Amino acid sequence: MSVDGEDSGGYYRGFSFFHGPFYGGNLCPAKNALPDDGILDILSIRGSGFFYYFLFPFYVTGRYKKFPKNFSSKQGRKIHISSDAPLQISMDDEVFFESGLSLEILPAAVKFVDAGLKGFTGGRK
């Protein structure tokens, strides 16, 4: 994996990328992710088998920092992941199999409209 040109190789169980704190309704792994800061929040997951499933509740509630050997977080604008084996990539409930993935934030490329999130400050006070 490369984030803004900085390589951090190794074996990973998975990655999650966030541009907002919530997904899937009430899951909130990246409590500090903001949709308007021009940065992706990245959560890297290590581990396998039963132990990985044991940690899932800590992941979806943002309490993963209790397990630094299994989770690490970064922020960046350009992310590249590559693998010798095909990666299972899931985006908006669509699944793809590729040997690499590149993501880049384009600041101000999308306009947001408040869709009833009155009182939501995106983690800012």
Share of the chain above pLDDT 70, in %: 81
**Cross-sheet strand order for the sheet of 14-18:** 14-18, 40-45, 71-76
Determine whether 10 is exposed, middle or buried from the number of CB atoms within 10 Å of its CB (0-12, 13-18, 19+): exposed
Give the C-alpha separation, 92 to 95, whole Å: 8
Token duo for residue 115? 């869709």
- Express each pLDDT in 19-33 by its tens digit: 888 887 788 888 888
C-alpha torsion angle, residues 98, 71, 4, 7 (rounded to 10) = -80
Architecture of domain 2-104: Sandwich (2.60)
- Express each pLDDT in 79-107 by its tens digit: 999 999 998 988 878 899 999 999 988 87
pLDDT of 117:
54
Mean pLDDT calculated for residue range 58-75: 87
